[in-house]
Amino acid sequence: MAITSKGLQQLGFSSDIDFVLQDNGNGVEIRDWNSSSDKPTTSAIESAHAEWQAEFTAADTAKASRVASVKSKLEALGLTTEEVQDAFGI
């Protein structure tokens, strides 16, 4: 893994305000560091990115579960799959 915008954002920094990234052809690096906080290590950024990815995946999975639950409940009320899809786009 490497330096990522999502990793830095997970650490509380804002893109184009606190930092600017650049891909120099050998990977992404921090081109500009404008934050008054110390620049985090690559390891800290990578860990934060992994944390962000886990949260993103969990949220995506939870959303899919909620959609399936809603669809199932509506079908239990007698609506067909096609009616549910047409009415709610799910």
Q: Dihedral angle at the C-alpha atoms of 66, 70, 75, 81, nearest 10 degrees?
A: -70
% the chain with pLDDT above 90: 68
Give CA–CA dist 2/54, Å, rounded.
16
What is the structure's pLDDT at 14? Answer: 97
Look up the pTM and report it: 0.74
Contact 5, 21 (CB under 8 A): yes
Q: Which residues of the chain have pLDDT under 50?
A: none
Give CA–CA dist 65/61, Å, rounded.
6
Into how many domains does the chain fold? 1
Contact 60, 67 (CB under 8 A): no
CATH number at 30 reads: 3.30.56.60
Q: Domain residues for 50?
A: 5-88
* DSSP-assigned beta bridge partners for residue 29: 22
